[in-house]
Amino acid sequence: MAIYHGNLKKPHKKRKAAMGRETKNTVIGDKKLKKIRTRGGNEKLRLVAAKYANVSVEGKSLNCEILGLATNPANKDFTRRKIITKGAVLTVKSPDGAELNARVTSRPGQSGVINAVSE
């Protein structure tokens, strides 16, 4: 027990609203989504695996195939395990066949889609 302003009382117990969840690490593969119920009955889409990314190239949005993960500055272990998070640099193949690097701007574990900008 603790003393707060001269009164002897217990601090509040842990609430379910303060509870976190395990992360779903997005990898390269056939598209797979998982629905998560959030507070208020809303839903989030967790992207478990993806094969394509929406890449903005010179103002145009293209649906590009993901070839691999170049680097992930969030964690060097993520680079080794090929886990895609916001800020990761992907190697993608555009519809016309050109290979380019693209930086992820969305949060795949929360939004359910991979958006990126070419570098």
Q: pTM score, two decimals?
A: 0.83
Which CATH number characterizes residue 58's domain?
Answer: 3.10.290.70
Is the residue at 6 inside a domain?
no
Whether the CB-CB separation of 68 and 28 falls below 8 Å is answered with yes
Give SS3 for 70: strand
Is the residue at 8 inside a domain?
no
Is the residue at 78 inside a domain?
yes
Tokens of 80: 């080794």
The β-bridge partners of 115 are: 54
Q: What is the DSSP letter of 48?
A: E
Q: Which domain does 56 fall in, by range? A: 19-118
pLDDT at 20: 86
Give the span between the Cα atoms of 71 and 80, in whole angstroms: 9
Tokens of 30: 């056939």
pLDDT per residue as tens digits for the range 25-68: 999 999 999 999 988 999 999 999 999 999 999 999 999 999 99
